[in-house]
Amino acid sequence: MADQPGQKGDKGPSLKEQLWDPVAGFGVTFRTMFRKVVTEQYPKEKLPTAPRFHGRHQLNRWPDGLEKCVGCELCAWACPADAIYVEGAENTDDTGTVGEDGTRESGRYSAGERYGRVYQINYLRCILCGLCIEACPTRALTMTNEYELADDSRASLIYEKSDLLAPLLPGMEQPPHPMRLGSDDDYYRGDYQQPVPVPAVPATEEAQS
């Protein structure tokens, strides 16, 4: 039976093991000191994501400012995590009426029969899989590259329509308003009968060009 360490007859580590093994070990450390550092200094330094990274959602607009969402709920049905809640409502072609609570009750918000009156995404449930954006028939719903979604409040992780809607770009008009670019078919085909508003070039970009 072989002697166990510490037992009588155990000769301990050889001279090579005592001298060479620590040198070999520190050699690994020394070589690594000159390799390219891969540690990311987040959040001090933020690196760009991959172009098709699945981040926070966005509800898009047509060039005249109308919303692309038609409140069809296909995104909600496609979601495997039950993270989307949509309530559709009818568009009307009047100038819009305001209810007792100050919210608009009628008017045109999208270029379809209906629009998304209520739209919520619960980021406590969302797994950012992207199935909802594949299901959307009007490309109203897309995903941005924004990934900083952490919060310490459950309520603030339920994003409302106002949090998800794309901002109004120069040349766009805040809905409700009539369809400015043609019929609803023209919108869906991108074959506008009226000139598309040309976004004004921001002053900073003018100065750079």
Residues that constitute the known binding site for [4Fe-4S] cluster: 69, 72, 75, 79, 126, 129, 132, 136
Using the rule CB under 6 A, which residue among 56, 66, 84, 179 binds ligand SF4?
A: 84
Looking at residues 174 to 193 of the shown chain, list those that interact with ligand SF4 (rule: CB under 6 A). Answer: none
Distance CA 92, CA 134 (A): 28
Alpha carbon separation from 194 to 63, 129, 183 (Å, rounded): 11, 37, 10
Half-sphere exposure of 27 (CA within 13 A, CB side): 6
Determine the distance from the C-alpha atom of residue 123 to the mean position of all C-alpha atoms in its chain, rounded to a whole number. 11
Binding mask 98-127 for ligand SF4 (x = CB under 6 A): ------------------x----x----xx
Distance CA 156, CA 150 (A): 10
Distance CA 112, CA 66 (A): 10
Looking at residues 140 to 159 of the shown chain, list those that interact with ligand SF4 (rule: CB under 6 A). Answer: 140-141
Minimum distance from CB of 127 to ligand SF4 (Å)? 4
| Contact residues for ligand SF4, defined by CB under 6 A | 69-75, 78-79, 81, 83-84, 86, 116, 121, 126-132, 135-136, 138, 140-141
